[in-house]
């Protein structure tokens, strides 16, 4: 986060966030600069307590070693109580999301009211920031909104895709009007809005967010030592015995372009290509195809296995705020086929390929081109920069 944009190198910040979004990159960077006054979050893991309690083992990632505990205010017991109560009450979907957002904002504002030292700046992520910003504005603080996705335009895109592929059933539902009304208030209250990609910026502007409020901050990623030492090898020719291994990793949902991948797999069923879809399954039914492997949810330790064994990463997303899987893919020198509707990572025809619209026909065309010229993947892989901190081009 470029705090210099406000010329506030000595200012103090409060960061508010639910969960470990972006691995706490904003508060961690502010802490490294000596500018973090407080991180307010729903749950902060203390290793001794978490390891001893199997019920909360899945919360072990809710911490950052660069942020000291005395700079964190969390609501662990209240958070666990809230989640259990809502689950027992059958609350789910958007009702649960909005209840959680309201609960967190109430707790955050109460926490800020007890502060003895006022900061000058406040950062909070979208959809759980309105009431927090209202309090901050009354105090005269600068408010910065971290926009986690491309906003309401993305919802319209998903609705269109649902109509385009009615054969797939999904639990996805559009957000209630109140959800977007709250968001527009957040945008009005924000002095600055941080988007992760040019696509997100464009989507926000289309929906009326002033361009002069938006600043783009690309995500960064530190490759593992194993990825940095990895050497990718390609065959001279793909065949039935050594097919082209195409990987999709992420949520298996319509927004990610999965229906288009399945359509391409159906058309290319006689070609030496194997499609692997790894991630939480959010649509059904998925047709059984001999060239399509559905892995489902994978653990963090399993993810690297799939990157290493793939030949190309296929990501025909319809809309993403950034998609950090692109940086993970590049960390393994794995070329990417993607769309313009996410973070700008791929340099077209240099280290990957950008599909103009992400259609099944476009996917088929580039994969057939790769089959006829396997050396293309080798050249793309060689052109991927193996640097410590990966970000967009």
Spatial CA neighbour of 250 closest among 168, 335, 169, 314: 314
Lowest mean pLDDT among 37-41, 156-160, 219-223, 316-320: 219-223
Same domain, 241 and 192: no
User: What pLDDT does 9 receive?
Assistant: 62
The answer to the question of residue 91 being in a domain is: yes
The answer to the question of residue 238 being in a domain is: yes
User: What pLDDT does 46 receive?
Assistant: 77
State the pTM of this model.
0.89
The answer to the question of residue 391 being in a domain is: no
Same domain, 234 and 276: yes
Domain of 162, CATH number, reads 3.40.50
- What's the pLDDT band for 294 if we cut at 50, 70, 90? very high
> 188, 216, 244: which is the final residue of a domain?
216
Percent of the chain exceeding pLDDT 90 equals 84
- What's the pLDDT band for 224 if we cut at 50, 70, 90? confident
Same domain, 170 and 309: no
How far does CA 135 lie from the centroid of its chain? 28
For residue 236, the surrounding DSSP H or E stretch is none
Same domain, 8 and 125: yes
The answer to the question of residue 296 being in a domain is: yes
Number of domains comprising the chain? 2
How far is it, in rounded angstroms, from Cα 246 to Cα 260?
A: 14
Same domain, 292 and 364: yes
Q: Which DSSP symbol is given to 287?
A: P
User: What pLDDT does 225 receive?
Assistant: 87
> 162, 181, 216: which is the final residue of a domain?
216
Same domain, 111 and 84: yes
Same domain, 293 and 157: no
Q: Is the pLDDT assigned to residue 391 strictly greater than 60? A: no
The answer to the question of residue 142 being in a domain is: yes
Residue 28's domain comprises 3-216
The answer to the question of residue 282 being in a domain is: yes
Lowest mean pLDDT among 12-16, 117-121, 166-170, 275-279: 117-121
How far is it, in rounded angstroms, from Cα 230 to Cα 71?
A: 38
Same domain, 212 and 234: no
Q: How many angstroms separate the Cα of 222 from the Cα of each of 139, 227, 391?
A: 37, 10, 9
The answer to the question of residue 390 being in a domain is: no
The answer to the question of residue 388 being in a domain is: no
Task: Give the tens place of pLDDT for each residue, 62-100.
Answer: 999 999 999 999 999 999 999 999 999 999 999 999 999
Q: Is the pLDDT assigned to residue 301 strictly greater than 90? A: no
Q: Is the dihedral of CA 101, 73, 323, 263 positive or negative?
A: negative
Same domain, 254 and 109: no
Same domain, 256 and 199: no
Q: Is the pLDDT assigned to residue 206 strictly greater than 60? A: yes
- Could you give the strand order of the β-sheet that contains 273-278, starting from the edge strand earlier in sequence? 292-296, 273-278, 244-249, 312-315, 336-338, 352-354
- Calculate the average pLDDT of the chain: 92
Residues 6+ apart with CB under 8 A from 292: 262, 265, 274, 275, 277, 286
What's the mean pLDDT in 288-292? Answer: 98
Can you tell me which residue has the tokens 């944009």?
A: 5
Same domain, 182 and 282: no
Domain of 342, CATH number, reads 3.40.50.2000
Same domain, 165 and 207: yes
Cβ atoms of 198 and 205 within 8 Å: the answer is no
> 149, 182, 216: which is the final residue of a domain?
216
- Helix 93-113 and helix 130-139: axis angle, to 10°? 20
């Amino acid at each position: 986060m470029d705090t210099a944009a406000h010329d506030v190198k000595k200012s103090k910040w409060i960061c508010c966030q639910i969960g470990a979004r972006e691995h706490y990159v904003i508060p961690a960077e502010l802490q490294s600069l000596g500018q973090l006054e407080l991180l307010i979050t729903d749950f902060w893991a203390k290793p001794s307590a978490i390891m001893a309690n199997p019920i909360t083992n899945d919360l072990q990632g809710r911490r950052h070693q660069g942020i000291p505990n005395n700079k964190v205010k969390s609501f662990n017991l209240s958070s666990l109580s809230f989640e259990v109560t809502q689950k027992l009450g059958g609350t789910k979907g958007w009702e649960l999301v909005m209840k959680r957002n309201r609960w967190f904002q109430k707790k955050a504002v109460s926490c800020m009211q007890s502060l003895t030292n006022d900061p000058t700046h406040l950062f909070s992520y979208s959809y759980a920031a309105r009431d927090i910003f209202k309090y901050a504005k009354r105090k005269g603080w600068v408010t910065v909104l971290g926009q986690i996705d491309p906003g309401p335009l993305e919802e319209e895109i998903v609705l269109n895709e649902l109509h385009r592929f009615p054969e797939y059933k999904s639990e996805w539902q559009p957000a209630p009007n109140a959800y977007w009304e709250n968001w527009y208030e957040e945008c009005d209250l924000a002095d600055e809005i941080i988007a992760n990609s040019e696509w997100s910026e464009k989507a926000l502007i289309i929906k009326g967010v002033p361009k002069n409020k938006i600043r783009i901050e690309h995500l960064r990623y530190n490759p593992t030592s194993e990825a940095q030492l990895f050497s990718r090898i390609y065959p001279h020719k793909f065949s039935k015995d050594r097919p082209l291994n195409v990987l999709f990793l992420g949520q298996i949902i319509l927004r990610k372009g999965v229906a288009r991948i399945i359509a391409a797999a159906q058309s290319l069923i006689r070609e030496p290509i194997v499609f692997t879809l790894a991630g939480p399954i959010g649509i059904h039914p998925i047709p059984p195809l001999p060239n399509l492997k559905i892995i489902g949810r994978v653990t963090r330790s399993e993810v690297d296995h799939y990157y290493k064994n793939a030949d190309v990463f296929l990501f025909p997303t319809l809309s993403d705020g950034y998609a950090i899987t692109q940086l993970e893919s590049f960390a393994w020198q794995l070329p990417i086929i993607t769309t313009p509707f996410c973070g700008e990572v791929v340099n077209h025809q240099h280290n990957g390929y950008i599909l103009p619209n992400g259609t099944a026909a476009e996917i088929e065309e580039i994969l057939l081109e790769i089959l006829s010229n396997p050396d293309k993947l080798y050249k793309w892989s060689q052109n991927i920069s193996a640097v410590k901190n990966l970000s967009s081009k």
